[in-house]
Structure 1
Amino acid sequence: MSGQQVESRARPSWKMTLWIMAGVQFCMSIAFSSSNPFMALYVEQLGVHNLRHVDMLTGIIQGMTPLMAAIMSPFWGAMSDRRGRKMMVLRSTIAIAIFTGILGLAQSTWQLMIIRALQGSFSGFSAASIALVASVIPQDRLGFSLGWMQTSSMVGTLVGPLLGGVAADYFHNNYHMVFFLTTIFAFIAFIITLLWIKEPQVQRAVANRKPSLIGQFKSIKQFKTVQSMFVVLFLTQFTVMSVQPVLSVFMKELAGNVGYLNTVAGFAFAATGLADLIASPFLGKRSDKIGYRRVLTICMTGAGLFYLPQALAPNIWVFVASRFGLGMFIGGILPTANALIGRMAPSDKRGQIYGFTSSATFLGSFAGPLLGGVGSAFLGIRVMLGVAGALYLCNMLWVRLKVKEPKETADTA
């Protein structure tokens, strides 16, 4: 009875932490995504006028942040074990705020590339925030809590591109001002975390042990399905990011010379995020009933097919409608994949495993813009949209062949 009383007293604490961190996630998602609609146009404004070079440089620039984040994530993960998860969230939010502001001072594409690399080197927000939330909530509410974190991220991703596009048009394509405004959201996330997030001392004591990264990797080799999910997460993120950096250039081609191009581009990105937000809760609930593997199969097949009308779009409105349809299926992939990983991983290894799956996602975010930008430069954006659809279908086949449904799901469903 005393244990239940302790849990009831602790419950408001973890719930409050969850909602506060969901707000922090929302602010950071805006900061991350607000420049997506106009990054290629920003590269043009910095003096690159050859369309092929714009595609290539935009892909490289967009890929620098996740590349450096993937390289530095193990270091920051080990640091969080010694210094605490809240400290890592504070470090990443203030670093992102500072470097986002500096992006607005860039005078050349080389400066833009270096700043993006530095931003990635000091990043690691997502892994730190998930680890912080997981350290204060009951284990039986882990899926519920991470689901809300994902939802807040989706809402931020929905608002960010639209806000960035509208701001860019309001300031008459002065993208420097948009970066300065975006910095405010990261600073808000820093202040909220500093003032209202409390990290339990027990977690800090346990974290004093310094884990070996090689030892961590070896310890998860026994979980074959988890290893298979590394490929799923990498391909999912790679495919999404492979065409995203150059979509604004493609929409410029479809819309023509209109005065509200940035707003249209932001709306196209927001349409995908809106559909994502609508579909994710429904698909998450369905995965508990019909199985994670089946939902992944449905989502990847639908996403692959919705890239076809994008590749063949005759005008901007068909393209935007297709992006909305794509979001209805993409919305179920990452939450379902993470839920499957959580079911397969023992509770005492979830932090390690989610850390490595985060690296797979970062690598996909790096390789996607890089190869997608090069592919768009030489093959054209329409061809790359078709390739993206084919990659989703290949990912679906990988799930059918390599991913196993956890036995616990069948037992508890």
Structure 2
Amino acid sequence: MRASGNDGVRVATEQTPLLAAEDIAAVNEAVIEPVQDGNDDTNNVDDKPLPVWQIAVLCYARWVEPVAFFSIFPYINKMAQENGHLDNADVGFYSGLIESLFSLTQMFVMILWGKAADRLGRKPVLVFSLVGVSFATTLFGMARTIWQMVLFRCLAGVFAGTIVTIRTMISEHSTSKTQARAFSWFAFTGNLGILFGPLIGGALADPARQYPGLFGNVGFFLDYPYALPSLAVGVIGLSAVVVTAIWTEETLVRHHADATSGAEDSATPKPQEYSTRDLIKSRGVPIVLFTYGYIMLLAYSYTAIVPVFWFTKVHLGGFEFTPLQISLMLGLNGASQAIWVLLVFPPLQHRIGTNGVLRVCATAYPFFFAVCPLLNLLLRAGTDASVAAFWVVAPVALCLGCGISMSFTAIQLALNDVSPSPALLGMLNALALANVSGVRSFSPALFAGLFAVGARTQWLWGYAIWVLMVLLALGFTVLSRYMPDYDEMRRERERDERL
């Protein structure tokens, strides 16, 4: 990882594992060499410029994950309905189940990938994971039953090494002064994935019927109507494999112990050892980890509800969008989030701070969720004026509401700021992402299922799920008031180091 300020050097060590809670380098194994900045004044490490090309390469690899994840959203409901011969009201449960098992798989394998990255290096783990994601995503489009969809989606979840590895490599390339910009680009490319993933999925799904002049006589696409978008995403993934294999620089730099004496270089500083329990109990860490998980609960539950909400008939509480309309609206969602994160977040964070951004987003969340049933009321009215008003208000509300996505980047910076040491940032990220995977393992099935129950029973006119979402959002509004003071924590750590 990196150490800055009074630490004087940036250190990435196998005693500073990406995920493991204890030292994983035995005596006489490789140890890590301090990274020098090219001059004797190592105290200026925080002024080291951001390696833009390396960040760009990592961001391209990062782009693949949301493309693969969101590309199935425009057609997963229809695909599940056709493969499982499901009723309209049952579609949400099965599509949510598929995504929940995918995330549960990620949660179980993430620690293994982290340990592999610490032992073998970041780059080989990243490249191998991208290969696996590419092939697993391609296979998903050829599923013919619900259980094949589950199997191939879980196979994609097995290759979760990209998630932790990219975050850690970006942290290792950046300093305390450049991390906000680096993670803004990280978030921006993630939102580009949210933009392009649904567009690819919606535009290429069922090509024999969408483009009969081109694919109407192609038997393969008649038998496998959802293979083309998966193949396209697989090719994108393989392009990222090539890019990372050629241009990514390994950030886990090693030198070996002296062959004759077996002694380690005494100049290499050994970071303070923390167990997982020690780290979780550190000041500020519990509330930030909990808030991280809470924000992701809101995000993943909304992400699970929205495709089936837009797909559901108007009289049941939805928007009754076509797959193409779903892909266009999801694309607009991704584009809006990208603009908020790239253009609005950096100056806003500089002006009001990380906690200020979190509080603004926490205030906006309940209103954003409350708009959804109000828009359905316009469609239920069924008049020309109400439908026209819907198509004016809905895109504007979506674009403005996407400002809540700034909370995703803000909580990542909060996580960096509460780390007791830069050397522990990898472990802290791993804890947060394992927590997030756990949240994503149940939230899609739970909230999509709750939406399906509400649509079937028409409890509260089919709006019960949005009442729940508003109440959960109000919980975040309260929680955001209790975030720690990062500047005070930083001053205390610096004072402890001097002592």
Q: What TM-score do the two structures reach when normalised by structure 2?
A: 0.73
The offset of 1:137, in angstroms, is 3.6
CA deviation profile, 1:221-256 (whole Å, cap 9, x unmatched): 333422112222222222222243343333234679
Query: Aligned runs of 1:82-97 on 2, under 5 Å?
Result: 82-97=119-134
- Aligned with 1:49: secondary structure? coil
1:175 match: 226
Q: 1:201 to 1:404 in 2, by over 3 A?
A: closer
Tell me the distance in 2 between the aligned counterparts of 1:64 and 1:190: 25
1:286 counterpart = 2:323 = no
Q: Which structure is higher in helix share?
A: 1
Tell me the distance in 2 between the aligned counterparts of 1:49 and 1:264: 22
Query: Aligned runs of 1:354-365 on 2, under 5 Å?
Result: 354-365=429-440
The offset of 1:107, in angstroms, is 1.0
Tell me the distance in 2 between the aligned counterparts of 1:250 and 1:204: 55
Identity over aligned residues, as a percent? Answer: 17
Query: Aligned runs of 1:360-375 on 2, under 5 Å?
Result: 360-375=435-450
Contact kept, 8 Å, 1:342 with 1:350, in 2: the verdict is: yes
Tell me the distance in 1 between the aligned counterparts of 2:351 and 2:473: 24
The offset of 1:215, in angstroms, is 5.7
The offset of 1:47, in angstroms, is 2.9
2:384 match: none
1:28 counterpart = 2:71 = no
> Mind listing any 5+ residue stretches in structure 1 that lack a counterpart?
207-213
Tell me the distance in 1 between the aligned counterparts of 2:124 and 2:205: 33
Q: Which amino acid aligns with 1:269?
A: L
1:117 counterpart = 2:154 = yes
Answer with 345-354 or 122-131: which moved more. Answer: 122-131
Equivalent of 1:242 in 275, 284, 301: 301
CA deviation profile, 1:338-380 (whole Å, cap 9, x unmatched): 1111112121111111111111222222221021122112123
The offset of 1:199, in angstroms, is 0.7
Query: Aligned runs of 1:257-276 on 2, under 5 Å?
Result: 261-276=322-337
2:249 match: 198
- Aligned with 2:84: secondary structure? coil
Equivalent of 2:98 in 61, 64, 75: 61
Q: Which amino acid aligns with 1:185?
A: I
1:301 counterpart = 2:363 = yes
Tell me the distance in 1 between the aligned counterparts of 2:485 and 2:320: 50
The offset of 1:58, in angstroms, is 0.9
Across the two proteins, how many residue pairs are aligned to each other?
400
Tell me the distance in 2 between the aligned counterparts of 1:227 and 1:204: 35
Q: 1:268 to 1:390 in 2, by over 3 A?
A: farther
Tell me the distance in 2 between the aligned counterparts of 1:194 and 1:255: 48
1:405 counterpart = 2:485 = yes
> Mind listing any 5+ residue stretches in structure 2 that lack a counterpart?
1-37, 211-224, 258-272, 380-389, 456-461, 492-499
Contact kept, 8 Å, 1:292 with 1:405, in 2: the verdict is: no
1:312 match: 374
Answer with 283-292 or 90-99: which moved more. Answer: 283-292
Runs of 4+ in structure 1 off by over 6 angstroms are: 10-13
Q: 1:201 to 1:350 in 2, by over 3 A?
A: closer
Answer with 181-190 or 244-253: which moved more. Answer: 244-253
Tell me the distance in 2 between the aligned counterparts of 1:3 and 1:323: 52
Contact kept, 8 Å, 2:142 with 2:226, in 1: the verdict is: no
CA deviation profile, 1:234-286 (whole Å, cap 9, x unmatched): 22222222243343333234679x99822210121122222211222423432
